[in-house]
Amino acid sequence: MKFAKRMENFGEGVFARLAAIKQEKILSGVEVIDLSIGAPNIPPPAHVMKVLAEEALKPENYVYAVTDTRELLKAASDWYHRRYGVEIDPVSEVCSLYGSQEGLSHIALTLIDDGDLTLVPDPCYPIFADGAKLAGSKIFFMPQLKEHDYIIQLDKIPKDIAARAKFMVVSYPNNPTTAVAPADFYERLIHFAKRNDIVVLHDNAYSELIFDGSRGSSFLSFDGAKDVGVEFNSLSKTYGFAGARVGFCLGNREVVKRVKLLKSNVDYGLFLPIQKAAIAALRSPQEVIDKTRAAYIERIDALIDGLNAAGWQVDKPKATMFVWALVPENFGTSEEFVKTLLEKSNVLMTPGSAFGPSGEGFVRMALVQTADTMKKVAAQIKSTIQF
């Protein structure tokens, strides 16, 4: 058998190594608390699950959907208007995705020819670089450093790199650093993209998970954004829809048109009951999200107050569903520290190095356990590690 060379760019790496240790522990009867994967465990509102259940019982809903229903696109467009004050034409400026992940893994096929260049934040959510690599792109990393509050320094991108780049991925509130970008960053971003003729993909998965009382915005709410790019949005975190797989690509109609064209060739649309449930979620009273935010704040307080009491000084995140913490002194690399925590405290986190070179020196904790379990995490770390 002869396999494609492109897969040599991908490997399980650190995740496989950590999974092996976790498995060994579980086999020996030890309970491991897993904070490594950002799999949300707060379910959708009951009325949304009811719509899904009822629609799933209708035989006529088992045909190929083929494409998005008009009602779904209108619900997404209305949501953008209500929530961000952004006008989206439901016919030409939005299409659904099997989650943002699917869109981010395919969109580069519409933008990249072999050997082109993509600008990707570092550290970043892995599909930002992997989607581009799958399409044959070379990657230039834009560092997101603590000393700049993890905001990309656009003026540090070399001119020849900016001139060559086809598209760039940007995402705030940011996974893994939890940073939120100020408004003037988006103004500079749009100016930069126009000057260099670069398509911007803004991933806005966490606009609803900001914890300091401020409201997240949309890249598309800034002047000129639609001229240069699109936004990805997702029901996964906002409405607990992760397994149901619903996201959207919205904004520039030329980009949306090509995503639709690609998808019309490779898939048959979202399962109709899922489209109906997504409409119910998008039209939900926003209080359901207040409850989700409150649950995350409770988890953050339980975890971080406990870790600080254990002697590991960690800041509370302003946004997202993660904690991004410096590896304490004398604990080696991020991977070594994660192994120590797993072996001694039975807690699994993700080493920052898994998100790119600038992630070294940090670990990421996903807020995917209840507040009580978070207290347990802190207690187990306190009783097993001397900071």
Q: Which residues bind ligand PLP (CB under 6 A)?
A: 38, 99-101, 125, 171, 175, 203, 205, 234, 236, 242, 247
* Between 172 and 312, CB nearer to ligand PLP: 172
CB of 112 to ligand PLP, least distance (A): 19
Q: Which residues of 101-120 are buried (b: 16+ CB within 10 A; e: fewer)?
A: bbbbbbbbbbbbeeebbbbb
Residue pair 146/138 in contact by the 8 Å Cβ criterion:
no
CA separation for the pair 270, 262 (Å, rounded): 15
CA separation for the pair 101, 82 (Å, rounded): 25
- What DSSP designation does 70 have? H
CA separation for the pair 193, 199 (Å, rounded): 7
Sign of CA dihedral 286, 208, 318, 292: positive
CA separation for the pair 363, 73 (Å, rounded): 38
**Burial group, residue 14, by CB count within 10 angstroms (0-12, 13-18, 19+):** middle
* Between 44 and 247, CB nearer to ligand PLP: 247
* Between 172 and 337, CB nearer to ligand PLP: 172
* Between 232 and 312, CB nearer to ligand PLP: 232
Structure tokens at 112: 């990249």
CB of 144 to ligand PLP, least distance (A): 13
CB of 175 to ligand PLP, least distance (A): 4
CB of 366 to ligand PLP, least distance (A): 8
Percent helix, strand, coil in the chain, to 5, is 50, 15, 35
* Between 157 and 170, CB nearer to ligand PLP: 170
* Phi–psi pair at 308, nearest 5 degrees: -65, -40
CB of 120 to ligand PLP, least distance (A): 12
* Between 247 and 306, CB nearer to ligand PLP: 247
CB of 277 to ligand PLP, least distance (A): 15
Residue pair 233/227 in contact by the 8 Å Cβ criterion:
no
* Between 100 and 380, CB nearer to ligand PLP: 100
CB of 30 to ligand PLP, least distance (A): 27
Q: Using CB positions, name the residue nearest to ligand PLP.
A: 99
CB of 32 to ligand PLP, least distance (A): 20
CB of 138 to ligand PLP, least distance (A): 22
For 189, residues 6+ apart whose C-beta sits below 8 A from its C-beta are: 154, 170, 200, 219
Residue 4 CB neighbours (<10 A): 7
Show the CA angle centred on residue 315, arms to residues 339 and 234, nearest 5°: 85
Is the N-terminal amide bond of 45 cis, ω within 30° of 0?
Answer: no
* Between 38 and 44, CB nearer to ligand PLP: 38
Distances in Å between the Cα of 223 and the Cα atoms of 164, 200, 255 are 24, 14, 18
* Between 250 and 381, CB nearer to ligand PLP: 250
CB of 200 to ligand PLP, least distance (A): 15
* Between 84 and 125, CB nearer to ligand PLP: 125
